[in-house]
Chain A
């Protein structure tokens, strides 16, 4: 399951108010949320992001408000995976729960720059920076959290469990 895409690079402590400002939370239509994604710090993102582009950020990505509108907006932008030094915990849960893969790579994130091309294996967590030649391995998902991710999110996982029960 290798993906290839161009990097949109952001810094540390990117909060969910920045990912999707509260003034747009009166809707939860994914496409409408995507059209405002990151607007307060990077107006070009929503306009220019291409299907398959990858978001890469520093530590504590997704801190602040629990709004699931934030990972929904990123996913609906066409971003298939987010890579960060670390994720804030509610965002991390939300990403897994909606089937947006999140890969944590610690300080290795410093070796990825805006515009780099990455090849990412969502299953093994192997990340190749095709621009620089660097290779990284993301921390694996623990236990049944991996099963939630594999099911494509928590709702599918719960439904599968109900059917198999």
Chain B
């Protein structure tokens, strides 16, 4: 019986010839990830098991959520991560100033690769499916057991196949593709399921587009999102991935529980209204909505292409007088690159705040909290009630082109609305 990409990777790591949806399996882990919010509670559980870490080269610890430390309690969390990394000689520990946001730096530094099985105590761990691996988010206890044993249990998911055709128009980004899909299938449309992207449309998507798309598989309830490995992937990993990796392809007779068709050439810029990522609307069909803040960054859209798209729009323009625009590169590399390419100058000259890498405002931690009745257009991934601060604030999710155009016009807008 044919298997799809997710089934093949799970089977490979369970030591089985084949697996089928619904089967319960235990898999060997290639990478175990945690951050400053999720790692410290897991250390307590880890100690209860009473063994050393399974492999100090297959663990990544990235303090990124409340860093640079926002308060004394957060400083204690970061210290716990740092102490653990030192004690267990964790190679992939990324101190503030030497890394960035976990899901931006792991692909960037070649820590994740095709065919790998990664778990992370962060729901957006599904990002690495962009590289043709299986990766999924877990909680603290799964993480603790992963750190100790290098294994995790899984129920083999059913898989939704998303067939992409055509080429997206110039003003459409990977974010629009994913928000459109979530709008189509709903925030629980892929609950307990894998999402496999396929079709001729994939090859025209850049790696940054794919990382954005896979990143938000969880916003449709998905276990993972996964892309085939092609020339774009190979070019991306060429100088990054130093270890061996396995390219996995879906069999021609692989089984899928549902098929979804998206013609990329028909897409337009979209925005997800409060308070669900599936409340997707076309920007050209919404009434005038004035805004107070724009955030450009996060594990979803904090990569160099996102910065490029936003900078091209902001060049020789200014942020609207009633708007605060906060630009947060996702990694030290993205930060340096945007300085080198002149994007940082463009943002600063336009009147935007440019900050060091952090998850900060995305989860309402710091660096851009909203008060009651404030509205924010954000390139982040969640617009739940209270996500970015006050319970009566509103977050509108969009791609970097919509965020930048909105920052300039002071209302939700797309690039074609600019003079």
Contacts and interface: CB of A to CB of B under 8 A. Distances in A.
Interface string B276-287: 100000000000
B66 interface: yes
A60 B365 CA distance: 24
A64 B137 contact: no
Interface of A: 13, 15, 17-18, 21-23, 25-28, 40-41, 59-60, 63-69, 71, 86, 88-90, 93-94, 97-98, 142-145, 148, 153-155, 158-159, 162
A69 B187 CA distance: 22
B141 A153 contact: yes
A21 B364 contact: yes
Contacts of B243: none
Nearest to B278: A13
B384 A15 contact: yes
Given A63-B187, A68-B38, A97-B139, 9 more contacts: A17-B363, A22-B387, A26-B71, A26-B74, A41-B385, A89-B192, A142-B22, A155-B48, A162-B49
20 contacts: A13-B188, A18-B385, A22-B364, A22-B365, A25-B66, A40-B391, A64-B218, A65-B382, A66-B137, A66-B138, A66-B139, A68-B140, A89-B221, A90-B218, A94-B140, A98-B139, A144-B24, A155-B48, A155-B141, A162-B49
B20 interface: no
Nearest to B73: A26
Q: Which 4 A-B pairs have the closest CB atoms?
A: A68-B139, A94-B139, A26-B73, A97-B141
Contacts of B144: 155
Given A17-B382, A66-B121, A60 B49 contact: no
Contact of B187 (A13, A18, A23, A89): A13
Contact of B191 (A26, A41, A86, A162): A86
B77 interface: yes
B298 to A, nearest CB: 13
B153 A89 contact: no
B375 interface: no
Contact of A142 (B38, B139, B155): B155
Given A94-B139, A159-B48, A68 B149 contact: no
Interface in B254-297: 276
A155 B145 contact: yes
Given A69-B41, A89-B221, A154 B365 contact: no
Interface centre among B139, B153, B188 (most CB of A within 10 A): B139
Interface centre among A22, A155, A158 (most CB of B within 10 A): A22
Contacts of A144: 24, 153
Contact of B66 (A21, A26, A68, A71): A26
B187 A60 contact: yes
Nearest to B154: A93
Contact of A98 (B24, B141, B364): B141
Contacts of B175: none
B209 interface: no
Interface in B107-163: 121-123, 125, 137-142, 144-145, 148-149, 153, 155
Nearest to A87: B191
A158 B191 contact: no
Contacts of A145: 24, 153, 155
A31 to B, nearest CB: 14
